[in-house]
Amino acid sequence: MEAFVYTSRDVSLLPCFRKRIIEGYCRGARRRGVDFVMNEDLIRSTFALAWGFRIVSRYLYYKEESTKRRCVEILQAMLKDDW
């Protein structure tokens, strides 16, 4: 997510990263012995909460409309049903 929040990476690429992000997160958690069900819905919710807060905070801080619009685009891409 850092690649989209803290750089100017094209937001339209976010769905392409979805599978890698979720699979990598689940794989790492399982290696560390996480003993609860780790599934895509749980990871999506975790990312939405953790990153959503950061993105909204940045939106409130920024003054330029183009930067605010980028925050909204990232949130929309993150929260799409097929993300």
State pLDDT tens for residues 37-79.
Answer: 767 777 777 878 888 888 898 899 989 998 899 999 988 888 7
Residue 82 DSSP class: T
| Cα 56 to Cα 74: distance, rounded to the nearest angstrom | 10
Q: How many other C-beta atoms are found inside a 10 Å radius of the C-beta of residue 15?
A: 13
pLDDT number for residue 19: 73
Domain of residue 34, residue span:
2-79
Number of structural domains found in the chain = 1
- Closest among 58, 52, 59 to 75, alpha carbons compared: 52
User: Any residues with CB less than 8 A from the CB of 18 and at least 6 apart, and which?
Assistant: 83
- The single residue listed with the structure tokens 């930067």 is 67
Instruction: Give the best-scoring range by mean pLDDT among 6-10, 15-19, 79-83.
Output: 6-10
